[in-house]
Amino acid sequence: MSQRYPLSWSRRLACLFFPERCLLCGRVVHPGVLFCAACEEALPPRPALRRIGMPGREPLPTAAVMPYRGRWRRCLLRYKFQGCRSLARQLGWLMAQAGADLLGGEFDAAVYVPLGKKRRREREYDQSQLLARNIGLFLGVPVLDALEKVKDTKTQHELGRAERLHNLDQAFRCSMDLTGRRVLLVDDIVTTGATLRECAKELYRAGAIEVCCLCTATARFAAKP
């Protein structure tokens, strides 16, 4: 993955007054550089690749930039919960690199896992939507608002295994015809994979011929009793 992302001239000018900082430790770095030398040296050599089981279909190829831990976890928490939405451009660039490297980068559209209406109002932005828009820009694919969350659900990692299996049943709906399209499904963090699985089911029902998934991070939570 490239650790340097393209900057607009306006952003380059802004860097004279508000310098770029390492995503992990906060040290000042050169414009367009995402990590300082020390943090870059500690990065994993390649994105993580998972395959999420799909009943009756081939498993979903799922690429994630890094494991959900340490400084990367803290970076994503700032983005997701502390209003640092400007991080979407840097995170989107890293995700686009992972998608191009691991999934071929040949997609007809990008679709994101949407927040429910209540959580969207509370947060004031949809983190996966912002990521998808930047990924679409970097990969040159259209971003579709194809999925809608139609049922309030509990947070997956707070539930036991039996509850997780049914928490997301019929929680999403696809409102677009995706016949014949190869779709890149974008989310922020993949844990059990249940959310991506349910969204992928809807995309396939809408006619998609292939679905691949792309996330900022992957985490595996032990099942609760």
Q: What is the pLDDT of residues 120-142, one digit of tens each?
A: 888 888 999 999 999 999 999 99
Same domain, residue pair 107 and 210: yes
Question: What confidence category does residue 225 fall into, taking pLDDT thresholds of 50, 70 and 90?
Answer: very low
Residue 66: inside a domain, yes or no? Answer: yes
Residue 139 or 225, more confident:
139
pLDDT digits over 66-114, tens only?
A: 999 999 999 999 999 988 998 999 999 999 988 876 667 789 999 999 9
Q: Could you give the number of structural domains in the chain?
A: 2
Same domain, residue pair 35 and 139: no
Same domain, residue pair 117 and 23: no
pLDDT at 165: 56
Same domain, residue pair 1 and 61: no
Question: Is pLDDT at 46 greater than 90 in this prediction?
Answer: no
Same domain, residue pair 99 and 145: yes
Which residue range(s) make up the domain with 111?
45-218
- What CA–CA distances, in Å, run from 127 to 12, 69, 135, 164, 215? 24, 19, 12, 22, 11
Residue 225: inside a domain, yes or no? Answer: no
pLDDT digits over 163-173, tens only?
A: 665 667 778 99
Residue 223: inside a domain, yes or no? Answer: no
Question: What confidence category does residue 159 fall into, taking pLDDT thresholds of 50, 70 and 90?
Answer: low
Question: What confidence category does residue 3 fall into, taking pLDDT thresholds of 50, 70 and 90?
Answer: low
Same domain, residue pair 96 and 108: yes
The CATH number assigned to the domain holding 91 equals 3.40.50
**Contact indicator for 224, 160 with CB cutoff of 8 Å:** yes
Same domain, residue pair 35 and 56: no
Same domain, residue pair 208 and 112: yes
Same domain, residue pair 79 and 1: no
Same domain, residue pair 175 and 165: yes
Same domain, residue pair 91 and 171: yes
Same domain, residue pair 28 and 52: no
Question: What confidence category does residue 32 fall into, taking pLDDT thresholds of 50, 70 and 90?
Answer: confident
